[in-house]
Structure 1
Amino acid sequence: MPEPTPAPSDDLAAAVGGALAGVDLADARAVWRALGTKGITAALYPRAGTGPPQPDPRSLAVLLAELDARCPLGVTLSVCVQVATVLPLLAEPSGPADRARTGLLHGETVVALAVTDAAGSGSDLLDATTWAKLGEGSFTVDGHKQWITNATTCDAALVLVRHREPRHFTSFCWLLVPMSAPGVTVEPAGRAFAGSGVGHLKFDGVVLDNDALVGRPGRALAGFARQVGVERLAGALWARAMCRRLLADLRDWLRQRPAAGGTLWDRPAIRERYARCLVALHQLDALCTPLLDSTDAPAAAAGMLLKVTAAEAVDRITAEAVQLRGADAFRDGGEAALRTEAAMFGIAGGATGAMLAGIADHADELVGSRS
């Protein structure tokens, strides 16, 4: 079957709007189902190549911008994880992974990405202790995964597990674990990120057939390392859309807010603070734009730069919006609540501190030689 061709940006934006008309935008499964039913999810993956199918960056940018404009942050997060990471990692030719991928593309199935381990730092996956022991034609899984998007709403979880003792990147594999399997329990992780289904997963003697294995044993971290660049690009594209939306709203509010015979927009100090936010947005934009037409995932250093720049732009712009709007920012659904949730841009997929340490490791590459 030929790969679907992504629609032009304007057409895709209209298609997303049409697909979501009449849908409960606070219900992540309903949004996911609508995107799949209308073929929008499948159309994100136009390229046939040697590696896992990747979302088209321009189409992904349009989708995330349209979701950000309409849906709660948690719902956009639910979709983003699946299209940027889960679907490519499930690119298997047969078995449960292939069936799950087909269900995902049609919006019939939700799959959580269960990576962050309760026993180790979220940024150091080598410390993970969720185990899979190989038996007679089966795996037995034990362990805990924490702060997993879609945990409370998914049909299955793609779980990173250790299958060998050494603290080495070849000691891990992926298993596709049905939530209905005996020994799987789910605990909601509170009320934050409404719509994301974030929760904690526990696996207590969960027995799975060998066909639950996704990919080759020992290749899980290598595959995830390749995919994390796409995940960071998706996060940066989403952050860019969010920052642009917030700055447009803030500009209009400042121009309408009376102050000393004029408006707040007329005050030089206010305009300077707003201009610094514009600089942050365009720094992020400058990193994203060259990648929109690339057929390759961002390299390691580029991905970390995207991650840090997106996190810092979102933090600066949400902080300024809260301070400048004052009491208005604390209304229901206002910038104050958004700022709290948007802090996840600095944590999910690797904390900013860990990213900065990694960027420093690429100093020779990023600085270049003296000339």
Structure 2
Amino acid sequence: MPSTTGFDPEILGLPFYGDEHRRLAQQINTWCESYGELWQTVRRTDPDEAGRRLVQLLGDEGWLMSLDPTTGPHDLPSDTRALCLARETLAYTEDLADFAYSIQSLAATPIIRYGDEDQKKTYLPGMADGSIIGAFAVSELEAGSEVSAVGLSARRFHDGGYVLDGRKAWIANATIADLIVVIARTGDGPGPLGLTAFLVPVDTPGVRVSERLNAIAPRSFGHLSFEHCHVPAEAVLGRPGQGLVIALDLLERFRMTVGAAAVGFARRAADAALVHTRDRDAYGGKLFDLQLVKSSLADIQIRLNAASLLVARAAWECDRGDRGFAKHSNIAKVYATEAAQNVVDASVQLFGAAGLVEGSITERLYRQIRSLRIYEGASDVLRISIAETLDMRRGTHGG
């Protein structure tokens, strides 16, 4: 019988994980199964309303408690492997649940890593209990994936604060966020050295949603505008000129988690395809009996196993403090998202016309998986980054 969990117990049994990670996976999987009716409801709900409801639920149920380290120690792990396992299981269960969890974690992490004590006390308790919804704003229409090309300006004001002017594009949670982590250009250094991170509450005068966007997989999504937006000096996250470091550190840590979510989507598609082919009558037997179908299912399993291992390795490297984890995070993100796209597409093919019907599991997954090849660094851009890590001295001796 196919798996009914959002993770692979055999992968989880490898030395990459500890008993605490195995407990986490079991607990969040049980929790996801207990809210079956809710997942049906949120799919029919306005994305903004669903987003608010899910962040609050995740906070109420304790799944965001690691976002406020002062409440520790926690019974469950709060490292990168835990984040990946949570995303994998939530994505297997419901796309919007994974989205709510991941963006809240994405917005809180730079505060955890770079915030001062006052910033942590002001924002992290609310982000952990779901009463403060976060967003991370780095992308711009003109900059795309090039963080160093950010153009939103932050000019020093006479009181020591800053005035932000410009726009941010394609921001997750833009339409429901209470707090935005903004990367802006302060000019403290040339090019990439001139960026600074700011914590900007959405009720700050001058901040507004300039456009709500309808993505192929519905969720809170939009463009933001900053017009003569004045923030105090205390809004600076980290140090002036440290914005690029903060942005890259965050993206490198979260790319592998995007890969984990992709594995969750792919595993759900694989399980659905296996059930369908075993139950579907075809050519005097079952669809599963056809050799081409078995070959397709075998390829799905190969991709799933490879993607799971790459994500596990990247998260393990990050948690053990390996400075080269970014390369493994990029590799895991590229392979897992590309492989998941192939797995979902193959599953649609195995379902045939039934897999194209609006609202069917394969139709939903087909829309949901596509964005992951772009989030936190498009596959093509990351391939360039991976290539730049190659040791050019290898293979120079010839044969």
**Partner residue, 1:354:** 381
* Equivalent in 110, 113, 125 of residue 102 of structure 1: 125
Superposed, which structure 2 residues align to 1:1-371 within 5 Å? 8-15=24-31, 25-26=42-43, 27-43=50-66, 55-71=78-94, 73-83=95-105, 85-91=106-112, 92-96=115-119, 98-120=121-143, 122-136=144-158, 137-164=160-187, 167-186=190-209, 187-194=211-218, 196-293=219-316, 294-296=319-321, 299-334=325-360, 335-364=362-391
Q: Which amino acid aligns with 1:364?
A: D
Contact 1:12 1:59 in 2 (8 A): no
Contact 2:116 2:238 in 1 (8 A): no
Report deviation, 1:214. 1.1
Contact 2:153 2:186 (C-alpha < 8 Å) held by counterparts? yes
For normalisation by structure 1, the TM-score amounts to 0.87
Partner of 1:51 in structure 2?
Answer: none
Task: Say if 1:20 and 1:34, in contact at 8 Å, map to a contact too.
Answer: no
Task: Tell me whether 252-261 or 89-98 shows the greater mean CA deviation.
Answer: 89-98
How far the C-alpha of 1:22 sits from its partner, in A, is 5.7
Give, as a single letter, the amino acid of the residue that structure 1 aligns with 2:125: T
Counterpart Cα distance in 1 of 2:397 and 2:125: 51
| Unmatched segments (≥5 aa) in structure 1 | 49-53
CA distance in 2, matches of 1:107, 1:201: 22
| Cα shift readout 1:304-347 (whole Å, capped 9, x = no counterpart) | 10111012111101111222212211223332343233111111
Contact 1:162/1:171 (<8 A) preserved: yes
Residue segments in structure 2 that go unaligned for 5+ positions in a row: 1-19, 44-49, 72-76
User: 1:260-308 CA deviation, whole Å, 9 max, x = no partner?
Assistant: 1011111111111221121111111121233455333762211110111
1:44 deviation in Å? 7.0
How far apart are the structure 1 equivalents of 2:302 and 2:70? 34
Structure 2 vs 1, CA of residues 333 and 365 (structure 1 numbering), >3 Å: closer, same or farther? farther
Retained in 1: the 8 A contact 2:171–2:223? Answer: yes
How big is the shift at 1:219? Answer: 1.1
The amino acid that maps onto 1:340 is R
Q: CA deviation at 1:12?
A: 4.0
Aligned partner of residue 391 in structure 2, secondary structure: helix
Cα-Cα RMSD? 2.8
Structure 2 CA distance for partners of 1:248 and 1:46, relative to 1, 3 Å: farther
Task: Tell me the amino acid that sits aligned with residue 390 of structure 2.
Answer: A
| Cα distance, 1:80–1:367 mapped onto 2, change above 3 Å | farther
Shift of residue 25 of structure 1? 4.0
One-letter code aligned to 1:296: G
* Alpha-carbon separation, structure 1, partners of 2:249 and 2:108: 14
What percentage of aligned pairs have identical amino acids?
A: 23
Q: Distance in 1 between matches of 2:29 and 2:142?
A: 42
Tell me if structure 2 keeps the 8 A contact 1:19–1:34: no
CA shift for structure 1 position 96: 4.4
AA aligned opposite 1:246: A
Kept in 2: contact 1:20–1:31 (CA 8 A): no
| Cα distance in 1 between the residues matched to 2:208 and 2:320 | 39
Asked if 1 retains the 8 angstrom alpha-carbon contact of 2:313 and 2:328, the reply is no
Q: Tell which deviates more after alignment, 33-42 or 342-351.
A: 33-42
Distance in 1 of aligned mates of 2:233 and 2:69: 31
Cα distance in structure 2, aligned partners of 1:69 and 1:33: 20
How many residue pairs get aligned? The number is: 358
Kept in 2: contact 1:86–1:158 (CA 8 A): yes
Distance 2:178 2:251 in 1: 23
Q: 1: CA distance between counterparts of 2:314 and 2:327?
A: 13
Give the counterpart letter for 2:110 in structure 1. L
Greater shift in the superposed pair: 333-342 or 203-212: 333-342
User: Distance between the aligned counterparts of 2:392 and 2:274, measured in 1?
Assistant: 38
C-alpha distance in structure 2 between counterparts of 1:19 and 1:256, whole Å: 26
Deviates most, 240-249 or 23-32: 23-32
Distance in 2 (CA, whole Å) between partners of 1:103 and 1:45 is 9
